[in-house]
Chains A and B, each alone.
Chain A
Amino acid sequence: MASIAPQKTQKKQRSGLGSALPRVVRVLLLLIPDALIGWLMSEFITLGYLPLTAVIFVIAIGVNLILLIKKAYPLRWMVVGLVLMAMFTIYPIIFTVWVSFTNYGEGHLITQEQAIQQLIKEKYLPEEGKAFRWTAFKSSEGEYALWLIDDDGIGYLAKPGEPLSQPQPGEEGVGDFDDSGIPASIDGYQKLNAIVAATDKNLTEILFGEEGETIQVRSPSEAAELLPKYVYDSDLDAMIDQETGDVYANLRGSFTSSTGNELKPGFVESIGVTNFKRFFTSFTLNGPLVRIIIWTFAFAFFSLLLNFALGLLIAVIYNDPKFPLRKLIRTLLIIPYTVPALLTILVWRGMLNPELGVITRILENIFGWAPPWMTDQWWAKVAVLLINLWLSYPYFMLICSGSLQSIPDDYYMAAQVDGANKWQQFWKITLPLLLVAVGPLLLSSFVFNFNNFNLIYIFNAGGPPMSEDLIAGHTDILISYVYNLAFSGGTGIDYGYAAAITIVIFFIVGTITLLQFRFTNMWEEVSENV
């Protein structure tokens, strides 16, 4: 299988990557990275990152098989690329699908188990139950200590952040006990009298003892141990408030009481197709999303149309090989394409600046008025189309002039004999032949502009905003809207909804790509030359 086809070769010539090593050695060598990956997986599992753990596991199995099975020899040549592709391209796509069915986002970032772990650490001070009598001590630095005596008369020393101890006189600086079992003195501390202690407001705020056994002053005579406020009931899938008896049931990733109170933090949970429902209802409700979708298509379509038209025009006009300075003109016209687009978009942003930009100033000097490029929704749309034209027509010029040269002159000769004029020649010969040649590139360009985040985001951040409270802007396209949802955090980060919209974009892009295959018979070509 691994030989160079069609010739059958001897085994010894297969000594390519690693197969020179005996199998046993290879297995042993694999054990080291495998152990490392095992450790990694255990770490990720503890953190609750199950999808990540799963993908690492699958990839590790795949790599082991490729490196150990003889038949998989050709794959060894591409194992690095495959691993990277699986990890950083395929997995994010799958993860996006998963996220789109969850409420992943602000306030819902951890697993349910982690949320429960956090919640059961919360404590409350019971009104009744086991209690201590207490005496307060205060150091000169303002630190407090409590001497506690329980019902059995045993004394404890409690300091904030330290475990409770039962010192006898002489230990830990504790002095002799008086009749009621309270030490007369503690080194570094001064005993507070009952009245001072009862009126000291700090005292009731302080938590004595350590995590797990915490004591708080409840009344002038009593101190009590804090109890866990919430207990998780797995049958109800709910947290029970021990203080009030309220039941906080799991409602879409938040423990919520019957009165609508939510416990923080919430957690990631599957919420079915809610995100998609939200997308499509918002779509039908004529909300901002509809306008974004329409603009996304319009932007991609008009960009393609304008850029292609200008590129084609230039290619046709200067196709004549004898045209003077043809090379120079071509080189000068390509220059916009050679500068990183991001930089030129920023330059355009400066030039179209509403008050100070050069284009605004020139227009004001000539006409006394300049379009509000940044603040009016229609002019902002014109501006992004104009910038996009500037950025991409050289590309179309290049691909069109390339294809034009491949159209044989005979066709035009024949057309002329038949009496066709230039105009007819263009529409009947040049354009159809050209479209066949550059069609796939046009579709790619449509897809590119459909997701042309850089232009939209950098020119005006999708602005002007549709309204004060919305994160959508008039020039926002779907992908920049997704970015706002996931990263801008204006109205709360919502990864789940952002992922759902991403999936919708996936489908749109996928459909166009299928179209592209149909259009070009790419599959057939692929199958033929392999």
Chain B
Amino acid sequence: MSKSIENPQGYKSASLQRKISVILRLILAILLIIFSLFPIIWVISAAFNPTGSLATQKLIPANPGLDNFKELMRSEEFPFWTWFFNSIKISSITSVLSLSITTIAAYAFSRFRFKGRQTLLKAIFLIQVFPALLALVATFLMISQIEDVIPFIGLNTHTALILVYLGGAMGSNIWLMKGYLDTVPRDIDESAMVEGASNWQIFTKLILPLLRPILIVIAIINYIGTYGEFILARVLLKGNEKYTLMVGLERFTGAQFDQRWGVFAAGALIGALPIMLLYLIFQNQIIGGLTQGAVKG
């Protein structure tokens, strides 16, 4: 497969062969790139197409303009900015809290030895295997029951949604974090302990700074996952003002999609931007995390 193992004896023919193969592969690459990027380019084009409907769109709009974006800002029935802000808010809070819960718990698993430690670790792993999606009906019923006594953790509140997301926090990335912590040498803790530092001090002052790379990865993966989450938000949130961007845009496209196409495209573009930027900036770290089994969402 790898070209480095090419037979050096057949140098000339190999060189020609290689050229043809490179050209063929470049053509294939172009086809693949078209397949990959066409929907994205089409959305960008739609967003700047002033007529705003599905039927009249061309790849390069006749009079490109910001009409769709202006329309998006104006609409009162579909408060785009509220949704956008809701999404940012919910994802940020969930991501930070989830990261704190995971890190502190993983530290305990990595550094303390206690009875039932392995069992607990395995149990947490088993529980996170089941997608939260499956308990959807039960989660919905539970939140509506809680609402009867504590209205601010009821249906249509962001608090309830965040708490449900955090319910999965322990399971999601504790393994990745613990694995990383296990590679941090214990000598660091031990020497600090000799000098009389408490566990909490060791954790916050010594270990935490060393965890920076993995903290960033897990925080971003959490953030992206929460930002893109749809179904729990769809089931638990009922009011237009409370929707996240994903729920809002899905609802927005529910009727007269062909007429609203341009405005939707503008919204999708703005909505996708933060996530695409995160990916492009932290590409290598995120991919490393995902392939090591981090959970997206």
Interface flag for B88 (CB, 8 Å): no
Give the A-B pair count, Cβ closer than 8 A: 309
Query: B171's contact among A77, A85, A96, A331, by CB below 8 Å, is which?
Result: A85
Please choose the segment from B39-47, B69-77, B211-219 that sits at the chain A interface, where 4 or more of its residues have CB less than 8 A away: B39-47
Q: Are B253 and A349 in contact (CB under 8 A)?
A: yes
Q: Are A509 and B142 in contact (CB under 8 A)?
A: no
Query: A84's contact among B114, B163, B179, B279, by CB below 8 Å, is which?
Result: B163
Q: Are B138 and A92 in contact (CB under 8 A)?
A: yes
Q: Are B36 and A332 in contact (CB under 8 A)?
A: yes
Interface flag for A334 (CB, 8 Å): yes
Q: Are B131 and A451 in contact (CB under 8 A)?
A: yes
B272 neighbours in A (Cβ, 8 Å) = 339-340, 343
The chain B residue with its CB closest to the CB of A88 is B167
Interface flag for A258 (CB, 8 Å): no
A444 neighbours in B (Cβ, 8 Å) = 293
Could you tell me which residues of chain A, from 1 to 49, have a CB within 8 Å of some CB in chain B? 1-7, 9, 12-17, 40, 43-44, 47, 49
Q: Are B189 and A99 in contact (CB under 8 A)?
A: no
Q: Are B4 and A74 in contact (CB under 8 A)?
A: no
Please choose the segment from A137-145, A158-166, A191-199, A522-530 that sits at the chain B interface, where 4 or more of its residues have CB less than 8 A away: A522-530
Q: Are B231 and A530 in contact (CB under 8 A)?
A: no
Question: How far apart are the CA atoms of A16 and B4 in the complex, in Å?
Answer: 56
Q: Are A413 and B25 in contact (CB under 8 A)?
A: no
The chain B residue with its CB closest to the CB of A486 is B137
Q: Are B2 and A320 in contact (CB under 8 A)?
A: yes
Q: Separation in Å of the A173 CB from the closest CB of chain B?
A: 43
- Residues 179-206 of B, flagged 1 when their CB comes within 8 A of A and 0 if not, give 1001000100110010011111000000
Q: Are A430 and B130 in contact (CB under 8 A)?
A: no
Q: Are B264 and A346 in contact (CB under 8 A)?
A: yes
The chain A residue with its CB closest to the CB of B253 is A346
Q: Are A530 and B246 in contact (CB under 8 A)?
A: no
Whether A502 touches B115, Cβ cut-off 8 Å, given contacts A390-B36, A454-B230, A513-B129, is no
Whether A95 touches B141, Cβ cut-off 8 Å, given contacts A74-B112, A85-B167, A390-B39, is yes
Interface flag for A363 (CB, 8 Å): no
Q: Are B114 and A74 in contact (CB under 8 A)?
A: yes
Q: Are A422 and B186 in contact (CB under 8 A)?
A: no
Query: A336's contact among B28, B40, B179, by CB below 8 Å, is which?
Result: B40
Whether A336 touches B36, Cβ cut-off 8 Å, given contacts A14-B199, A398-B287, A458-B250, is yes
B125 neighbours in A (Cβ, 8 Å) = 526
Interface flag for B78 (CB, 8 Å): no
Q: Are A509 and B131 in contact (CB under 8 A)?
A: yes
- Residues 95-133 of B, flagged 1 when their CB comes within 8 A of A and 0 if not, give 000000110110111011111011001101111111111
Query: A338's contact among B55, B136, B275, B291, by CB below 8 Å, is which?
Result: B275
Q: Are A483 and B136 in contact (CB under 8 A)?
A: yes
Interface flag for A91 (CB, 8 Å): yes
Whether A413 touches B5, Cβ cut-off 8 Å, given contacts A9-B193, A454-B231, is yes
B127 neighbours in A (Cβ, 8 Å) = 85, 89-90, 93
A530 neighbours in B (Cβ, 8 Å) = 117-118, 121
- Residues 1-40 of B, flagged 1 when their CB comes within 8 A of A and 0 if not, give 1111101000000000000001001101100110111011
Query: B149's contact among A5, A43, A526, by CB below 8 Å, is which?
Result: A43
Interface flag for A82 (CB, 8 Å): yes
Q: Separation in Å of the A326 CB from the closest CB of chain B?
A: 9
Interface flag for B93 (CB, 8 Å): no
Question: How far apart are the CA atoms of A9 and B113 in the complex, in Å?
Answer: 13
B140 neighbours in A (Cβ, 8 Å) = 486-487
The chain A residue with its CB closest to the CB of B104 is A77
Query: A339's contact among B113, B186, B275, by CB below 8 Å, is which?
Result: B275
Whether A93 touches B3, Cβ cut-off 8 Å, given contacts A339-B40, A509-B129, is no
Query: A358's contact among B57, B118, B135, by CB below 8 Å, is which?
Result: B57
Interface flag for A367 (CB, 8 Å): no
Question: How far apart are the CA atoms of A384 and B115 in the complex, in Å?
Answer: 48
Q: Are A96 and B102 in contact (CB under 8 A)?
A: no
Interface flag for A235 (CB, 8 Å): no
Query: A323's contact among B25, B32, B111, by CB below 8 Å, is which?
Result: B25
Q: Separation in Å of the A106 CB from the closest CB of chain B?
A: 13
The chain B residue with its CB closest to the CB of A478 is B134
Query: B199's contact among A4, A331, A426, A454, by CB below 8 Å, is which?
Result: A4
Interface flag for A368 (CB, 8 Å): no
Query: B33's contact among A44, A332, A422, by CB below 8 Å, is which?
Result: A332
The 6 listed contacts between A and B (C-beta, < 8 Å) are A6-B113, A77-B112, A324-B26, A334-B279, A422-B1, A454-B230
Interface residues of B (CB under 8 A from A): 1-5, 7, 22, 25-26, 28-29, 32-33, 35-37, 39-40, 42-43, 46, 53-55, 57, 101-102, 104-105, 107-109, 111-115, 117-118, 121-122, 124-142, 145-146, 148-150, 163-164, 166-171, 179, 182, 186, 189-190, 193, 196-200, 224, 227-228, 230-231, 235, 246, 249-250, 253, 257-258, 261, 264-265, 268, 271-272, 275-276, 279-280, 283, 287, 290-291, 293
